[in-house]
Structure 1
Amino acid sequence: MLVTMSTLELMEETDALSQAILLSEPFSEYKRAKNELQEDKEAQECIRRFNAVKEQYEDVQRFGKYHPDYKRISTEIRERKREMDVMPTVVAFKKAERELESLLNEVSEIIARAVSPTIKVPTGNPFFDSMSCSGGCGSGGSCSCGG
């Protein structure tokens, strides 16, 4: 592949964009929350317990309600998940993760729209991703996308 000036300029712009993201508040908050979560011994033990039950749950799911431990494991995984989800460091990490994901989704959409308005851009929300076709569905606009 022959490298042209426009390719070099594009690579420089890409580096600048990635640096801007790495210096952003959402990324900084994500790193801080991740470190706090990793250092929280109680949260790590809770996550370990959840993962242990999750493995059992995956085994039980192969047989469904016919597995002898189905009810017990299903209840236990919900309890462990609830226990994990209310821990302050887990809550803070998930919030920071969502904010960083939102920033990355916005950047992806801006880049995609700069290339073409019909490019589909995943939002991270399967409900909205399945509803919007960004004009590329080929149905002639019958889905209200205007494509």
Structure 2
Amino acid sequence: MVEMMESVDMAELIKHSDLLSTMINQSAPMEEYLQAKRRMNEDAEAQQLFALFEKKKVLFEDVQRFGKYHPDYHKISTEVRQLKRKIELLDSVQAFKKAEDKLDSLLYQVSRIIADSVSDTIKVPSNNPFLEAKSSGCGSGGSCGCSIRKTS
């Protein structure tokens, strides 16, 4: 009887998770993300800079093996940083990053709600350190100085 109940619950859980993923895929943040990604992929300047960045990155990785002792280390690392900054300043890239952050926030909120409904000590990873503040620390009360939330 218990096995039958568990499989029914699992089937129901999968059904609801499928519905949830459909809702997320049809959400405004997802649509904004896909549109921003498409615009960035169609941006000729962005694509040219991405290709150049990949080439510079390979050079940098080669130079980085020797560190500051390589004669071109500072030159190549400066070029990589400048190119990365140039890419980050493109409107299409900024719009993509903004849309990506909104989608990430939505996914975090959904994950946080699910985790909190199970236990308030479950960690939910996020790309945003401010969102992770609630779940930061190891929760063990060890040498890191954090502790498990006390219930009064």
Q: TM-score, normalised by structure 1?
A: 0.87
Q: CA deviation at 1:144?
A: 5.4
Q: CA deviation at 1:127?
A: 7.7
> Does the 8 Å contact 2:50/2:87 carry over to 1?
yes
Q: Which residue of 2 aligns with 1:71?
A: 74
> Does the 8 Å contact 2:57/2:80 carry over to 1?
yes
Distance 1:127 1:63, change over 3 A: farther
User: Percent of aligned positions with the same letter in both sequences?
Assistant: 49
Separation of aligned partners in 1, 2:115 and 2:128? 17
Runs (4 or more) in structure 1 with deviation over 4 Å come to 126-131
Q: Which residue of 2 aligns with 1:133?
A: 137
> Does the 8 Å contact 2:141/2:147 carry over to 1?
no
Considering only aligned residues, what root-mean-square deviation do their CA atoms show, in Å? 2.3
In the alignment, structure 1 residue 10 sits paired with structure 2 residue 1: no
* SS of structure 2 residue aligned to 1:83: helix
Q: Which residue of 2 aligns with 1:121?
A: 124
Q: CA deviation at 1:86?
A: 0.7
> Does the 8 Å contact 2:140/2:147 carry over to 1?
no
> Does the 8 Å contact 1:132/1:145 carry over to 2?
no
Separation of aligned partners in 1, 2:105 and 2:64? 32
Mapping of 1:85-100 within 5 angstroms? 85-100=88-103
Tell me which amino acid in the other structure corresponds to 2:60. Y
Separation of aligned partners in 2, 1:133 and 1:113? 16
Separation of aligned partners in 1, 2:147 and 2:118? 22
Q: CA deviation at 1:138?
A: 4.0
Q: Which residue of 2 aligns with 1:28?
A: 31
Residue-pair matches, total? 144
- After superposition, the C-alpha distances for 1:33-52 in whole angstroms (9 at most, x for unaligned) are 11111111111001111111
Q: Which residue of 2 aligns with 1:110?
A: 113
